[in-house]
Chain A
Amino acid sequence: MSRNGPLALGFHGLVVLFMMAPLVVVCLVAFTPENTLSLPTQGFSLRWFRAVFERADFIQAFYNSLILAFSAATLATLIAVPAALAISRYSFVGRNFFSALFLSPIIIPHLVLGVAMLRLFALMGVNGSFTWLMLAHVVIITPYVLRLVLAAAIGIDRSAEQAAESLGAGRFTLFRLITLPMILPGVAGGWLLAFINSFDEVTLSIFVSSPATQTLPVRMYVYATESIDPMMAAVSALVIALTAATMILLDRVYGLDRVLVGKH
């Protein structure tokens, strides 16, 4: 294997610095003892983390996001797994259209989806309801589960299923005991990826959430347009920590490099 020269490594160092700088700065500023956004030069303090936990609106938004991401990712998985099995192993008229339709939220701007759902929800009189916000999230995260489950379902060996079937296993037993265990890494990875994407989503949510159902990213967005203080850095640091924890989990169950660059 040919090695990178010093020039290439210097370039690489700058790119890594560029990608890491804003995240590292956020985490450092979160520990400042000062009243202003500054690096903690006089020692570390947890006062801004305490300030976060005294804000009822942020706590509420955090719980909203957590419940939202959990339920939306679960429902998306329940919908995407049968769809992925249908697309990967049955041939029927409209199959290509189905798979394009179910993957399309990835290429449709969230802004467009947000205003479209706002119109629908306003006509139905349900805008700001948690259930409909959750269903909107299911639409935008289903493609992530579908992609991972499709990749898993296409790669499996069908002979075990055929053997079970010829031995008289019912359809549900077959799915539970044979198919599901084989596609489980894809299902679990898809659920986690959907969870992260729902938890982070801001553009669509800003249109279809109400003050009572406001998610954490929307609360942060609104807060950051009004005022900027170190509390925002503390919230951000907490979000980074939570995302990192989910990513470690994702790496364990599915492999982070496989999720990110599709390596097998």
Chain B
Amino acid sequence: MSRGYLLSLPALLLFSGLLILPLGLTLVLSFNVFDYQVGVKAGEWTLAHYLALFSDAYFYEIFWRTFWISALVTLLCVVIGVPEAYILSRMGTPWRSIFLILILTPLLISVVVRAFGWSLLLGADGLINQLIQVLGGRPVKLLYTPFAVIIALVHVMLPFMIIPVWTSLQKLDPSAEQAALSLGASQATVMRKIVLPQVMPGVLSGTLIVFGLAASSFAIPGLLGGRRLKMVATVVYDQYLSELNWPMGATIAVVLLLVNLLIMLSWNRLLESRYKKSLGV
């Protein structure tokens, strides 16, 4: 029906001009020849940036660091977020709503503010080091280490894990748990056979979101990682705004986007096939 097109037209125009077009231009840019003297050479093509990305030890180190930090952050979010969502779901009113909002609203506060908060806690004479000294220990360097980046990323990402797990817990029928318990199943069995299978889709989609957001995070490694602890996003920033090598920056951005989309799509596939299996379709 043509009214559908008419009503979507403004959005379609905006998204063609400011989403599809710039992403296409960036893909083109990543194949452009770059010269430090003259800049981007339009009309001259090369695969050199992609080759550099896959052969240069510097980029290898950045990608590897981004990968293990994101994987560890995701793991920590699962280990903390899943039990927390379960505990929240077992709370009574009004505590459940109060704590849910307390834990999830940091999501809506600027990430720069949250990063700054962590730098106050983790700094050389920050609160944590003051506490260590009061307890008789020696101050440790926390800020500008992977530790600082990881802890702040977990803080930023935890809500993204709790939300989907919470949502899938809402579909859990509490009488199924009670029935199992009254039939003599232990708490551990109830957990393993009833609760965990139910929350798995939530855990999987949380894992996906957290990993994707962590791998492309910019402000947290930028503010808490310092000059030397680079991640993919901060390297793209350097390529664009200090090296001024836009084609190289575009190449990294394209690879980051593709890896992100690939993980999202394959995970979706996995999720769907699991759903179908468990529904017996």
Contacts and interface: CB of A to CB of B under 8 A. Distances in A.
Q: Do A and B bind each other?
A: yes
Contacts of A135: 14, 18
B237 A206 contact: yes
A59 B5 CA distance: 43
B1 A92 contact: yes
A19 interface: yes
A12 B96 CA distance: 12
A227 B261 CA distance: 37
A233 B109 contact: no
A117 B170 contact: no
B48 interface: no
A212 interface: no
B222 A11 contact: no
Interface of A is mostly: helix
Interface string A82-120: 110111001110010010011011011111110111111
B105 interface: yes
B155 A22 contact: yes
A78 B112 CA distance: 29
A239 interface: yes
Most chain B CB neighbours (cut-off 10 Å) among A22, A83, A232? A22
B112 A217 contact: yes
5 contacts: A25-B127, A86-B6, A109-B260, A221-B222, A236-B112
Contacts, number: 255
A119 B12 contact: no
A178 to B, nearest CB: 16
B253 A4 contact: no
A120 B116 contact: no
A2 B177 contact: yes
B127 A112 contact: no
Category for how many chain B residues contact A: 35 or more
Contacts of A260: 100-101, 104-105, 107, 159, 163
Interface in B102-116: 102-116
B7 A82 contact: yes
Contacts of A57: none
Contacts of A138: 14, 18
Contacts of B121: 21-22, 25
7 shortest A-B CB distances, which residue pairs?
A22-B117, A90-B4, A109-B216, A86-B7, A116-B22, A92-B4, A82-B7
A73 interface: no
B15 A139 contact: yes
A242 to B, nearest CB: 10
B253 A115 contact: yes
A256 interface: yes
A68 B121 CA distance: 32
A23 interface: yes
A29 B8 CA distance: 48
B183 to A, nearest CB: 16
A97 B219 CA distance: 32
B83 interface: yes
A261 B100 contact: yes
A2 B19 contact: no
Contacts of B240: 115, 118, 207
A148 interface: no
A240 interface: yes
B223 A111 contact: no
B113 A240 contact: yes
